[in-house]
Amino acid sequence: MLTFPDLRDLKRLVVINDSSVPKGGATQLAVQLAGAVSAQGVAVTFVTGDDGESDQLRHAGVDIIPLGGERLLASKKALIDGLHNAAAYRLLTDVIRDLDGPGVVYHVHGWAQVFSPSIFDALASVADRTILTAHDFFLTCPNGVYTIFPTSEVCSLKPMSIQCIKTHCDKKSYAHKIWRMARQSILNSKLYVGPFPYRVVVIQDGMIPLLARGGVPESSIVIISNPSAEHFEKRVLAEENAQILFVGRITKDKGVDLLATAAERLGVSVRFVGAGDAEDDVRKISPNARLDGWSTQEEIAQAMKEARFLVMPSRCLESFGLVAAEALKAGVPVLTSRSSLIGEAIEAHGMGARCNVDDLDEFAGVLKDWLADDAKVKAMSLAAKTSASVISQSERDWVNAHLALFEETARRL
């Protein structure tokens, strides 16, 4: 039987997120947590930047308040709304006016794609009862991932320093970096002038120094590792499989072209599960690659059952990887790029390894070794099945940790 904290003071949770329909891990977690809190008898309101057409939230009994906006890439007013979305400010101001009171807690997940920094003007009056979950680094870093994209390097600079301002790190152009710096400057003026009143949830301790570098006080940070599903009770016999697996967005920042190139050098095929704008590039590089497109959780689980190992070859600094956590719980070893924050723990516990994916000789060499060495793959698989909890926790423990934080925060009024 599941046990949860005694919720005496938490009366309502107001969740704020750019989207109500999961197309990535952050929104999935926001929706999942909203439903879990609602299941404990707490009133939950989900303020979303999209049209709010979420069956998952409705079925969970969550009230939805939609902005009806568009993501920046689709909006004709992106240059302005991305800096200050006046409609988002008005909507959230109205929500706070109508719903605020004793025991009301606010939880912000994603704001950078629709809502903009304007929401922090609205939240200023309730900031001491507002929790910010850092799924990425947009709270401090202009491009959100501490990555210099033109050179695929992890950035070590202080955000918004002179050297940061001079560095071209954007995926598109330096002009776009200038816009991002303008947005960061606006955000900083709302968050880092005077005492910092928010609590910030990070999903692992490796994020703390990066956020602190940009201004988030370490004393305000709480670590709650992400949950992941355990698809199989028994270990996947990875050493008996031959398939290299990638699961996620098929985009260059995820390094899919590097994986396709390394595999093509070896004359082997990679199974890509997901979709994105680099699908044609993958097909051109590796005609034998298998591209499944977007898949259900059941289909992803089946792909993991047939995998020898999973590869996360991201060019950008990754704070987490849900599919990696799920693969490890299944007993599937994981190979990550050196920019993955969870890669260090994976390697330290013998569940996989990290490599320099930009060095195609090294990358292809690791793939070749893992494809040939059954004993090594079995050892990593066994370690993964027994040690995966160092990367992620159960949904019950994840929900419990948030409920305890919400209950503590609710007492602040």
Q: Which string of DSSP letters, residue by residue, matches 195-249?
A: ----EEEESSGGGHHHHHHTT--GGGEEE-PPB-----SSPP-GGG--EEEEES-
Please answer whether residues 146 and 155 qualify as being in contact, where contact means their C-beta atoms are separated by less than 8 angstroms. yes
Walk me through the domains of the chain, giving residue ranges and CATH numbers: 12-227+394-410 (3.40.50.2000), 238-390 (3.40.50.2000)
Strand, helix or coil at 265? helix
> Which H or E element spans position 410?
helix 395-410
In sequence order, the 6+-apart residues with CB closer than 8 A to the CB of 333 are 238, 308, 309, 310, 327, 351, 352, 370, 377, 380, 381, 384
Whole-number Å distance between alpha carbons of 187 and 84: 10
- The confidence score (pLDDT) of residue 25 equals 81
Structure tokens at 136: 């990425």
Phi and psi dihedrals of 192, rounded to 5?
-115, 20
Q: Residue 131 — left, alpha, or beta (φ > 0 → left; ψ -120 to 50 → alpha)?
A: beta
Whole-number Å distance between alpha carbons of 153 and 171: 12
Chain Cα centroid distance, residue 8:
31
Strand order in the sheet with 307-312: 290-293, 270-273, 243-247, 307-312, 334-337, 352-355
Phi and psi dihedrals of 95, rounded to 5?
-60, -45
- The confidence score (pLDDT) of residue 4 equals 64
Candidates 309, 329, 301; CA nearest to 371 is 309
Whole-number Å distance between alpha carbons of 26 and 17: 9
Q: What percent of the chain has pLDDT over 90?
A: 84
**pLDDT per residue as tens, the chain (413 positions):** 345 667 889 999 999 999 999 877 899 999 999 999 999 999 999 999 999 999 999 999 999 999 999 888 777 787 898 999 999 999 999 999 999 999 999 999 999 999 999 999 999 999 999 999 999 999 999 999 999 999 888 999 999 999 999 999 998 999 999 999 999 999 999 999 999 999 999 998 899 999 999 999 999 999 999 998 888 889 999 999 999 999 999 999 899 999 999 999 999 999 999 999 999 999 999 999 999 998 888 999 999 999 999 999 998 888 888 899 999 999 999 999 998 999 999 999 999 999 999 999 999 999 999 999 999 999 999 999 999 988 999 999 999 999 999 999 999 86
Structure tokens at 352: 């996989």
Please answer whether residues 296 and 314 qualify as being in contact, where contact means their C-beta atoms are separated by less than 8 angstroms. no
pLDDT digits (tens, 9 = 90+) for 303-359: 999 999 999 999 888 888 889 999 999 999 999 999 899 999 999 999 999 999 999
- The confidence score (pLDDT) of residue 1 equals 37
Structure tokens at 287: 């005609």
Candidates 224, 213, 192; CA nearest to 109 is 224
Please answer whether residues 74 and 50 qualify as being in contact, where contact means their C-beta atoms are separated by less than 8 angstroms. no
Whole-number Å distance between alpha carbons of 345 and 150: 27
